[in-house]
Amino acid sequence: MRTQIHLPEPLLHRLKRIAEERDWSLAELVRRGMESYAGTFPESSPKEWSFPVLRRSGGHLRDISECHAESMTIEDRFLISEDAHR
């Protein structure tokens, strides 16, 4: 199946460089990337809602329940910005 996607120029150049370094076509690189990304999702939707898992650099998955300090910092920044706009 063929499809058309629009990529920002810097990303396109980066992907072309990566593909060339691996001796792959750009299409092969995109296929592999999409397969990898799709593999991070369950095959079927869970019946019960659960906390989302956040991505951090390196493609590792991070459980949101382990992010308390970060979430508190984000909440504090949000509350400070809300107060500043009042």
Residue 45: strand, helix, or coil: coil
Spatial distance between the Cα atoms of 42 and 26, rounded to a whole number of angstroms: 27
Q: How much is the pLDDT for 23?
A: 96
Per-residue pLDDT, 17 = 95
Q: Which residues of 2-33 are buried (b: 16+ CB within 10 A; e: fewer)?
A: eeeeeeeeeeeeeeeeebeeeeeeeeebbeee
Residue 60 has pLDDT above 60, yes or no: no
What would the pLDDT profile of 2-35 be if each residue is shown by its tens digit? Answer: 889 999 999 999 999 999 999 999 999 999 999 9
Q: What value does the CA radius of gyration of the chain take, rounded to a whole number of Å? A: 19
